[in-house]
Amino acid sequence: MVDIIMDWHAESIPIPTHTCFYPFLSVASEYVEESGVTLENLISSAVLERARLRGKGRILEAIRDGKVKKPVILSKAQVETELLSYPFARILVSCIGDKYLVRRYALSEAKSAYEKLLEDSSTGSTGSDTDIINDMSEEFGIRVDFFRLPAEREQVQMPFFDYLRFTANLRDKRWKLVNRGLEKGMVKLRRHEFLRIIQEAMYERIKKDLPLDVPSDICGAIKGYVGDIKKELEEKRKKFSDASFGFESGSEFLVKDPSCFPPCISYILSNLKEGVNVPHSARFAVTAFLLNVGLTEDEIIEIYKNSPDFDEEQTRYQVGHIAGDKGSVRYTSPSCATMHTYGNCVGKDEICEKVSHPLSYYKLKLKLKRKKEQQDKSNKKES
């Protein structure tokens, strides 16, 4: 059941402006609960129409841009609208019930909150930057200590078990515990690195319990807000598909046909499309494969935009390196044996048994598909 809130008596409730930028925190939830807004008010009251439209807007921004914009707050009414739009957005996401949308929305909220947190911690807009880190640490149950190295800015250290808990989905090698300073069970981090870990904690908090168990009558009452979201979602999926594969090219294989991709590559691409954080070895394999079948670097970068850790500059550099830009060696995708070694070999079929390389799989399946199409065409003419 949806657990939300009770009439809006905001005048008696002090609400710090910055709270609305982190609506998933416990203090924000408390403000909403104490406001007295009921679920019925939230979905039907004319007074709260702005909050509902803002909730819908949060989701549309997440789909289009991968971020939820943080507006300039000029009034208490805006604070209230932001706070109430968040639970309404969660109801909308839950009524749609799409797994990709759940990940996309949660990640977009977390990324936007992270960027705002970076801004707040550098400007001290909500107090000192240390206060912000302490508040966030307390929120997510992380004990932190501060220390300063000679000629360096203040840094943070946290218990290694908390570090492992929140970095489990961060695939870059720099997050591996062996590449960190570890002393007496505490992991040393730069301030911005700790805030990146907080982003993971925020993502897990936002994604938790989604989709909610929303009664069908509630979903029916708000269906007028769902249509535009579903339309935007389908357009995003179509754009992803068209940008990646749906056209001819002068590449080695002449045509990019995802129906002929080997199971391992299809699985990695499916995870990337759904916003799953895939391991480095899988990213290398799929990037090299797609380059070899004729996708451009820009097309491949577009595929990675759903990734939780997406950084366009870094992704462009890595894709360019694999592509052999600036005189470096152009890489080919790893062999089937290497894919198996790194745990990236999944869902073998009968063609897999005949080849030893993903590109060989693609060539063979493409050849068989064309042969079948020619036979079908011939049979059709005869009939």
Query: Where residue 38 sits, what CATH number does that domain have?
Result: 1.20.930
370 sits in which H/E element: helix 358-382
230 lies in some domain: no
If asked whether residues 259 and 296 sit together in one domain, one would say yes
223 lies in some domain: no
Among residues 200, 216, 232, the one where a domain terminates is: 216
If asked whether residues 33 and 111 sit together in one domain, one would say yes
Bigger pLDDT: 48 or 257? 48
Range of the domain at 264: 245-382
Among residues 216, 232, 263, the one where a domain terminates is: 216
* pLDDT attached to residue 170: 81
Question: Could you tell me which of 262, 279, 259 has the C-alpha nearest to residue 345?
Answer: 262
If asked whether residues 187 and 256 sit together in one domain, one would say no
Taking the CA atoms of 34, 39, 45 and 50 in sequence, report the sign of the dihedral they define. Answer: positive
pLDDT for 52 beyond 60: yes
If asked whether residues 36 and 153 sit together in one domain, one would say yes
237 lies in some domain: no
Q: Is 72 exposed, middle or buried (0-12, 13-18, 19+ CB in 10 A)?
A: exposed
* pLDDT attached to residue 326: 63
* Total structural domains within the chain: 2
Cβ-based neighbours of 122, under 8 Å, separated by 6 or more: 129
184 lies in some domain: yes
The first and second tokens of residue 159, run together, are: 């218990």
Q: Identify the band that residue 198 occupies on the pLDDT scale cut at 50, 70 and 90.
A: very high
Bigger pLDDT: 207 or 9? 207
* pLDDT attached to residue 110: 93
If asked whether residues 280 and 197 sit together in one domain, one would say no
Among residues 168, 197, 216, the one where a domain terminates is: 216
pLDDT for 246 beyond 50: no
pLDDT for 5 beyond 70: no
- In this predicted structure, which of 138-147, 244-253, 266-275 has the lowest mean pLDDT? 244-253
Q: Identify the band that residue 254 occupies on the pLDDT scale cut at 50, 70 and 90.
A: very low
If asked whether residues 268 and 192 sit together in one domain, one would say no
Cβ-based neighbours of 342, under 8 Å, separated by 6 or more: 279, 281, 282, 285, 334
If asked whether residues 262 and 330 sit together in one domain, one would say yes
Cβ-based neighbours of 138, under 8 Å, separated by 6 or more: none
pLDDT, average across residues 134-154: 80
If asked whether residues 171 and 275 sit together in one domain, one would say no
Expressed in angstroms, the distance from the first to the final Cα of the chain is 59
If asked whether residues 52 and 199 sit together in one domain, one would say yes
- The rounded mean pLDDT for the chain is 84
pLDDT, average across residues 329-358: 89
275 lies in some domain: yes
Q: Identify the band that residue 133 occupies on the pLDDT scale cut at 50, 70 and 90.
A: confident
| Beta-ladder partners of 159 | 186
SS3 288: helix
If asked whether residues 56 and 138 sit together in one domain, one would say yes
206 lies in some domain: yes
pLDDT for 245 beyond 70: no
* DSSP letters spanning 256-275: --GGGS-HHHHHHHHHHHTT
Q: Are 185 and 158 in contact (CB under 8 A)?
A: no
Cβ-based neighbours of 164, under 8 Å, separated by 6 or more: 177
Bigger pLDDT: 364 or 168? 364
221 sits in which H/E element: helix 216-221
- How far is the C-alpha of 76 from the C-alpha of 35, rounded, in Å? 13
42 lies in some domain: yes
Q: Identify the band that residue 251 occupies on the pLDDT scale cut at 50, 70 and 90.
A: very low
pLDDT, average across residues 355-363: 93
pLDDT above 70 as % of the chain: 87
If asked whether residues 197 and 325 sit together in one domain, one would say no
* pLDDT attached to residue 255: 45
pLDDT digits (tens, 9 = 90+) for 297-332: 888 998 888 787 788 888 998 999 898 876 667 788
